[in-house]
């Protein structure tokens, strides 16, 4: 593509490092190729409602350290499933034809979609409907298929680890069990990495259902040895053996209606009742999404963004930029849409954690 016009959108939850990607895509497109760059507002909502603007070099300068996204985002907008009210009831309409017409009328040669599995699932649908698309993997949860890591994950782990470190001092002082609930949806990547990094005694992840009796036994054992505090890191999607996840609320007009949360408080109540030890719960929540990205995520975002431009140049449409080891690879968008990437039970990190005494609530 010699002389062209591209558009960028950011969908799903906000995430440290998005602006680093926007900057990398736009700057390389402008400086190396002389392309025009369009920024679409608020994810797919900007396509549905035709909200977009031209991005200049100055618009994307000085944003690599900024958190959030200068374009705005939405975790509800989906042109194939737009919520509407019909006779006082919530219903959904397929407005993809109008959205595709809008994209074509913009005269763009490629749409760069920066997002998680939901955003990229929609981008795959657009690709199948004839829109040239390139995907860039974004999520703090690190659960996108086809890539070893996503930008935003390192920043979230850093924030979670710092929070757990601070909780440890108060746990030691008051001889309490302290539970820290972290994000991750149905995958335990944040809990596993932050739990190991902070030296948490118990780490509970969705991939390994826990036994409350084993957790209580571990707390009692530590107490009898004179270690009168315990740090438990629990992923929001963790669940007991034979039980189910804790659901915080249901959002009916969202593509992902179930919002997980509350497992930390449920677990804390059980532990305090069974051990008699005061137990407190801290939910890290959206703190893990906020603020500027770590240096690692700024570098990764730059690598992914510049590679996306190379893929546009070679018309490698219908693919996502992925990471395998130290290399960047092209991943078919249809692979990304097969569901989240979970932690394998034989993952070396789990084995390392077990070897230093970390309890996963299963043995």
CA torsion through residues 255, 341, 297, 110, sign: negative
Angle at 257 between CA 15 and CA 81, to 5 degrees: 90
Active site residue 141: yes
Contact predicate 272/278, CB 8 Å: yes
Three-class secondary structure of residue 290 per DSSP? coil
d(CA 37, CA 6): 5
Cα diameter, the chain: 72
The β-bridge partners of 92 are 83
CB atoms under 10 Å from CB of 12, counted, come to 26
Q: For residues 319 and 315, give the distance between their C-alpha atoms in angstroms, rounded to a whole number.
A: 10
Give the three-state DSSP class for 85.
strand
Q: Which residue in the list 14, 42, 45, 141 is annotated as catalytic?
A: 141
Q: Mention every residue, 6+ apart, whose C-beta is less than 8 A from residue 359.
A: 201, 202, 203, 214, 215, 218
Task: Give the contacts of 25 (CB within 8 A, at least 6 positions apart).
Answer: 6, 8, 37, 112, 136, 305, 306, 308, 309
CB atoms within 10 A of CB 275: 17
Q: What is the helix (H) or strand (E) element at residue 352, kind and residue range?
A: helix 348-355
Active site residues: 141
């Amino acid at each position: 593509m010699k002389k062209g016009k591209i558009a960028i959108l950011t969908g799903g939850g906000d995430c440290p490092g998005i602006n680093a990607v926007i900057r990398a895509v736009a700057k390389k497109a402008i400086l190396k190729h002389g392309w025009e760059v369009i920024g679409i507002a608020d994810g797919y909502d900007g396509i549905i409602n035709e909200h977009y603007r031209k991005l200049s070099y100055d618009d994307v300068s000085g944003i690599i350290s900024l958190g959030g996204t200068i374009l705005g985002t939405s975790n509800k907008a989906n042109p194939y499933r737009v919520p509407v009210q019909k006779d006082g009831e919530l219903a959904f309409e397929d407005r993809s034809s109008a959205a595709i017409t809008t994209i074509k009328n913009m005269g763009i040669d490629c749409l760069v979609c920066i997002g998680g599995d939901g955003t990229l699932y929609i981008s795959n649908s657009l690709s199948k409907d004839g829109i040239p698309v390139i995907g860039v993997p974004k999520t703090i949860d690190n659960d996108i298929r086809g890539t070893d890591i996503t930008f935003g994950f390192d920043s979230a782990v850093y924030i979670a680890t710092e929070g757990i470190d601070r909780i440890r001092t108060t746990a030691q002082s008051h001889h309490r069990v302290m539970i820290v609930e972290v994000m991750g949806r149905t995958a335990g990547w944040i809990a596993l990495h932050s739990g190991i990094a902070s030296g948490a005694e118990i780490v509970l992840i969705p991939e390994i259902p826990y036994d409350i009796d084993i957790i209580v036994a571990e707390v009692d054992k530590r107490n009898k040895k004179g270690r009168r505090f315990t740090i438990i890191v629990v992923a929001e999607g963790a669940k007991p053996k034979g039980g189910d996840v804790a659901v915080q609320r249901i959002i009916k007009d969202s593509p992902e209606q179930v919002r997980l949360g509350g497992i930390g408080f449920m677990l804390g109540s059980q532990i305090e009742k069974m051990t008699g030890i005061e137990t407190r719960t801290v939910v890290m929540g959206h703190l893990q999404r906020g603020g500027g990205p770590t240096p690692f995520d700024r570098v990764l975002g730059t690598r992914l963004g510049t590679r996306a431009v190379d893929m546009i140049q070679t018309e490698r449409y219908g693919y996502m930029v992925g990471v395998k080891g130290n290399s960047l690879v092209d991943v078919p968008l249809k692979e990304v849409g097969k569901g989240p990437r979970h932690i394998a039970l034989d993952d070396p990190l789990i084995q390392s954690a077990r070897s230093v005494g970390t309890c996963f609530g299963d043995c």
